[in-house]
Amino acid sequence: EAQVTQNPRYLITVTGKKLTVTCSQNMNHEYMSWYRQDPGLGLRQIYYSMNVEVTDKGDVPEGYKVSRKEKRNFPLILESPSPNQTSLYFCASRPGGIVETQYFGPGTRLLVL
């Protein structure tokens, strides 16, 4: 089954404690992205990757890091989380060229205390 998986699904942490949210896709897609979803703001892109070792900033990259060492994986790293990073995070992947045909993961709900 074609899918995007994220782990963990729910996470409560404290300010400053480094965390990583994993994302994996089994569709051999070139493009992967991370979004955050906040009430009243819709989804905003944090980072995206066009292929292995190729990443770039989205609209709200501050406080986040990513890496793309393998085609299937695209982890999101919060080196020093802060309460304003409390949000619902989605990973997405797509084949090259058609931005709207994105496959979204189920989401990770993060609470930073």
CB of 18 to another protein, least distance (A): 25
Binders of another protein among residues 41 to 80 (CB under 8 A) are 41-45, 48, 56, 58-59
CB of 78 to another protein, least distance (A): 20
Among 21, 23, 60, 92, binds another protein (CB under 8 A): 92
3-state helix, strand and coil shares in percent for the chain, rounded to the nearest 5: 5, 50, 45
Amino acid identity, position 15: T
CB of 91 to another protein, least distance (A): 8
Nearest CA among 54, 53, 2 for reference residue 24: 2
Per-residue burial over 65-77, b = 16 or more CB atoms within 10 Å of its CB, e = otherwise:
ebbbeebbebbbe
Residues that bind another protein (CB under 8 A): 4, 33, 37, 39-45, 48, 56, 58-59, 90, 92, 99-107
